[in-house]
Structure 1
Amino acid sequence: MAELLARTSSAELTEWMAYEQITGPLGGARLDILNAILTAVVANTARGKNGRRARPQDFLPKWDRNRRMDWREMLATVKQINRRMGGNDHTRKRPDRG
């Protein structure tokens, strides 16, 4: 993120955001949608005559983007990622915070 902000102006980021609003999602989100469409087509070719028609939404992953975490959950998640990546935990343990 720091490198992105060092190389890209606020105006350019705003332009990319506007572009994405017009053309649809960029990157991973777009690939999720394209794969969901393809999977729905394949599923529909393999379904029986009485089977329910598959829709791309049936195959879109749900990434919990709207779920709000409190600071304890966020800290636990960051510590878990840090451990998995072999990082060191330099936080001080206080009796009131565990």
Structure 2
Amino acid sequence: MPVRELLARTSSRELAEWMAYERLTGPLDGRLRGDVQAAIVAATVANAQRAKGSALKPADFLPDWEPPRPRTPEEIWQDVIQINAALGGEYRTTA
């Protein structure tokens, strides 16, 4: 689906929810999950070289995704302005 069509069909609220989810869980796009692919290779190599005992799992080699730090209202507002601009809106101040 082209980006323009996706943006036309997705509300700003839904887009913000997906952005928040991705920040907590890591990249959504499987092609960008090189960390998972590297963890599989690392576990295979480590298990081939280990002595007898329990096998290591790819999860043992994955980085911990740190939750985002608390953000100030000003930082959140700047994100809202950027998302609004990306969706074709404009920023207006009320006077």
TM-score by length of 1: 0.42
Structure with max Cα Rg: 1
More RCO (CA 8 Å, sep 6+): 2
TM-score by length of 2: 0.43
